[in-house]
Amino acid sequence: MGDLITEAVSGTLYYLDKSIFDSIIESNIDGLQRSELFAHMARLNALYMIANAGSGHIGSSFSSMDIVSYLYLEGMKKDDVYFSSKGHDAPGLYAVLTALNVLPFEKIHRLRRLDGLPGHPDVNVPGMVSNTGSLGMGISKAKGMVFANLQKGYDSHIHVMTGDGELQEGQIWESLISATNHNVTQMTVVVDHNKIQSDYSVERTSSLGDLQAKFRSFGWYVQTIDGHNMEEISGAFDNAKKMQDMPSVIIADTIKGKGVSFMEGRSVDSDVERFQFHSGAPNVEDYTRAAQELISTINLGFEKLGLTIPQYEIVKRPVKPSSSQQTVKLFPSYTKALLKQAERNSKIVALDADLVLDMGLEPFRDAYPSRFIECGIAEMDMVSQAGGMALNGLLPVVHSFSCFLSTRPNEQIYNNATENTKIVYVGGLSGVLPAGPGHSHQSVREISALGSIPNMVMVEPAHPDEVEPLLDWCLNVHDGPSFLRLISIPFETDYERTSVLKPVIGQGEIVRKGTDLTIITAGLLGVSLALKAATELHNHDLDAKIISLPFLNVIDGNWLKEQIGGSRLVVTIDNHYRRFGQGDAIAVALTEVNGLNDCDFLRIGLNETPPSGSNDEVLQHVGLDPDSIVRQILKRF
């Protein structure tokens, strides 16, 4: 196999067919040895899935793999249940479930594809018992499942895995209390204690201190084991199930990226090194080295157990279709804009919840270490801290992904707003894209979730050059809280700016002239789609005016009424649920000034929970592609 890999310098992916898994399951080898070998095999398939999908979480799929393999092969009775609270380790679980025929095996080729295997768990997929991916909910959910089982007299043990970074979420500790009081023993919690979270070590990000003492003080039975030692894993689950006096947690000492030497997390010992394999697909070289190592390990395992060395399936690594259009990114502009503002105003501080890299905050952190606060995965705490800072004269800029930032600390953001302070919330990963991670990460309801807070103004740039003026408006013009909604992925757009955006609250800019209809939208995705649709509509002799309106929840109806004069149709495009998105705010603002009396109105946006899939697949599925938009518009003419 070594030769084969060396030859195929690029573009070859490897996986094991289900028949190979069948063969070791049917063999007479020792159960724990089988589980260990199975785990190595499943790692290869998980790696394949991630490389094939171009995205996914290697680190925790690998660190949890021995435990998951043990549970499915040895540890669980027929009606027992396992799920992962963090859910990032889904590819690892899928590798196990496909090998065991819980999931159709062919699905391994469909990670993060439409009608395939979502980036995070979804109950529509066989074998998945709960939607996770939003952190901290798993133990609560497991308790609910146990309660229901007891009501029904149903004998099923629930196994729920949490991350360790995940333990920074308050809900975890909230959920421990009643488990003790109700003595929930039909559930075992296992912590995949791999000691590394998104960017850095747990110790550096927000140390959990003495984890055993913490669980014990909450009245839990605590076992600490080597999470890669099958004897210890097996013994711990046996003990946990015997314990009837208190709920059980197993703290499993694991290694992030376990099984591939150069992927194994070592940043625990370093204050600087960033772990490289938390999420995202490895490059060709890394993939090849990793697959080679896993294959060697698997072969060695087969040999040791006296089994025939297996055959590996080989497929071409999919090539990303290159595009004629150039993509643009918002975050580099955001990083620059924040640094520029911070230089001018020493009151600006930046808070982050374990997404320093994704939110483009490394340069700020390095330039202003004393003004950067890493809060860990603790959004409520972060937002209320920002509240206290703002009360005492600072100007906090609060960062996380929009899906989390708009919802987990929802009451905290409102509470801060009632104090009339100025805080800027910056949400990344906004909108339906990237579609791979699925609904836990697709943020398509923040306009609704936060938009009614008095004096809260939400803005979204349609172009990298709009990031700075909008951030400037939030920090220096608007007197109140604001939310800067940013798309994280590079995206193609025909939109070119020729002048500097001068934000006026509730107003936007004419991006394209036209007389038949007016498309009003916001953001990189919205304006890009509108421009593409307009080009196509031109072929149908329809001339669309496009208004880029960066204000999402506050609309100047009179200004807008003037702009749309003469249009037969007003179309809004929302990278958000239609209900209580920007389109609704536009409809209401225009209605209030009788601005729609003489024309039709069409709202385009999401009506249903978006699926996981490739970006193009999902945009088409939800009707946010140029063709679907054009079709809907043509129906009105």
- Region 202-241 residues binding a copy of itself, contact defined as CB under 8 A: 206-210, 213-214, 216-219
Q: What is the nearest approach in angstroms of a copy of itself to the Cβ of residue 344? A: 16
Q: What is the nearest approach in angstroms of a copy of itself to the Cβ of residue 267? A: 17
- E-state strands within 254-331: 313-316, 327-328
The pattern of x and - marking residues 347 through 376 that bind a copy of itself according to CB under 8 A reads --x--------------------xx-x-xx
Q: Name residues contacting a copy of itself, limited to 150-169 (CB under 8 A).
A: 151-152, 154, 168-169
Q: What is the nearest approach in angstroms of a copy of itself to the Cβ of residue 350? A: 12
With beta carbons less than 8 A apart as the criterion, state whether 421 and 412 touch: no
Residue with Cβ nearer a copy of itself (356 or 531): 356
- E-state strands within 410-549: 424-428, 457-459, 482-485, 491-492, 509-512, 517-521, 544-548
Residue with Cβ nearer a copy of itself (18 or 216): 216
> In a 10 Å sphere around its CB, with 0-12 CB exposed, 13-18 middle and 19+ buried, how is residue 217 labelled?
exposed
Choose the stretch contacting a copy of itself; rule: CB under 8 A; options: 104-112, 302-310, 491-499, 574-582: 574-582
SS3 for 565? coil
The residue within the footprint of a copy of itself, chosen from 4, 9, 177, 634 (CB under 8 A), is: 177
Spatial distance between the Cα atoms of 57 and 440, rounded to a whole number of angstroms? 15
The pattern of x and - marking residues 117 through 156 that bind a copy of itself according to CB under 8 A reads -----xxx----xxxx-x-xx--xxxxxxxxxx-xx-x--
The residue within the footprint of a copy of itself, chosen from 596, 619, 624, 629 (CB under 8 A), is: 596
Sign (positive or negative) of CA dihedral 285, 108, 85, 119: positive
The residue within the footprint of a copy of itself, chosen from 115, 303, 419, 479 (CB under 8 A), is: 419
Q: Name residues contacting a copy of itself, limited to 477-516 (CB under 8 A).
A: none
Residue with Cβ nearer a copy of itself (108 or 398): 398
Q: Nearest 10 degrees: CA dihedral of 391, 392, 394, 400? A: -50
Q: Name residues contacting a copy of itself, limited to 22-61 (CB under 8 A).
A: none
Q: Name residues contacting a copy of itself, limited to 80-109 (CB under 8 A).
A: none
Pairing of strands 327-328, 491-492: antiparallel
Distance of CA 616 to the CA centre of its chain: 18
Q: Does 345 bind a copy of itself (CB under 8 A)?
A: no
Residue with Cβ nearer a copy of itself (241 or 347): 347
Sequence-distant (6+) residues with CB within 8 A of 549 are 507, 508, 520, 521, 522, 555, 560, 582, 586
Residue with Cβ nearer a copy of itself (50 or 135): 135
Q: What is the nearest approach in angstroms of a copy of itself to the Cβ of residue 191? A: 15
Q: What is the nearest approach in angstroms of a copy of itself to the Cβ of residue 380? A: 5
Q: What is the nearest approach in angstroms of a copy of itself to the Cβ of residue 20? A: 33
Spatial distance between the Cα atoms of 113 and 620, rounded to a whole number of angstroms? 13
Q: 178's torsion region: left (phi>0), alpha (psi -120 to 50) or beta? A: alpha
Sign (positive or negative) of CA dihedral 339, 343, 346, 347: negative
Spatial distance between the Cα atoms of 21 and 26, rounded to a whole number of angstroms? 9
Spatial distance between the Cα atoms of 92 and 46, rounded to a whole number of angstroms? 5
Residue with Cβ nearer a copy of itself (250 or 458): 458
The pattern of x and - marking residues 429 through 468 that bind a copy of itself according to CB under 8 A reads ----------xx----x-xxx-xxxx--------------
The residue within the footprint of a copy of itself, chosen from 288, 412, 488, 614 (CB under 8 A), is: 412
> In a 10 Å sphere around its CB, with 0-12 CB exposed, 13-18 middle and 19+ buried, how is residue 595 labelled?
buried
